[in-house]
Amino acid sequence: MIFYCGIGIACAAVVQSFMTVVFCPAQGITTGCGTIFSYHCGGGNYSKIRQVFLGVFLLCGAYIGLLQAAVQVFPQMFTGLFLRDSGLNQQASASIRMYTLVLLGVAVQYALVDGLTAMGKVRYAFPLSVFGNLYVWPAFFAAEGAGSFVRILCGKHL
């Protein structure tokens, strides 16, 4: 049991480490544009707000989409940054590929939630943030093969 749990924990740690690489810059993009949203909202310049949202979404979406595609094609390149054991690297590669299937939705969620928050529209941002978490993660767990990922994380499957 300790060997299986060790594999599950190692895979989860690799996935979490990779997600930090994805989420921190993406959140930096969306949060960093908050002052632009606030400025144009205060000035009532709603066409500029739409432009900024589109730009933020495209930049964040391109960044996340590129990483998502790269992970799907070259998962062992990314897991190899954290692991040296080839068997564990292969297992973590399967985990990271599965986990990153829902990443592109994060670009939309970050852009919307951070933009609305910057404009003082928290009453709209909060439900969107909660909805994103309620919608995206169950969709992930319903995906084919997600059950094996859960078993990996629980240490019950190699």
pLDDT tens, N- to C-terminus, the chain (158 residues): 347 567 778 888 888 888 888 889 988 998 899 999 999 999 999 999 999 999 998 999 899 999 999 999 999 999 999 888 888 888 889 888 888 877 877 778 888 898 999 999 999 988 888 876 665 555 455 444 444 445 444 444 44
pLDDT on residue 154: 47
pTM for this structure?
A: 0.74
CB under 8 A, 24+ apart: contacts of 27-36: 27/110, 27/114, 29/56, 29/59, 29/60, 29/63, 29/110, 30/56, 30/60, 30/110, 30/111, 30/113, 30/114, 30/115, 31/114, 33/114, 33/115, 33/118, 34/114, 34/115, 34/117, 34/118, 35/118
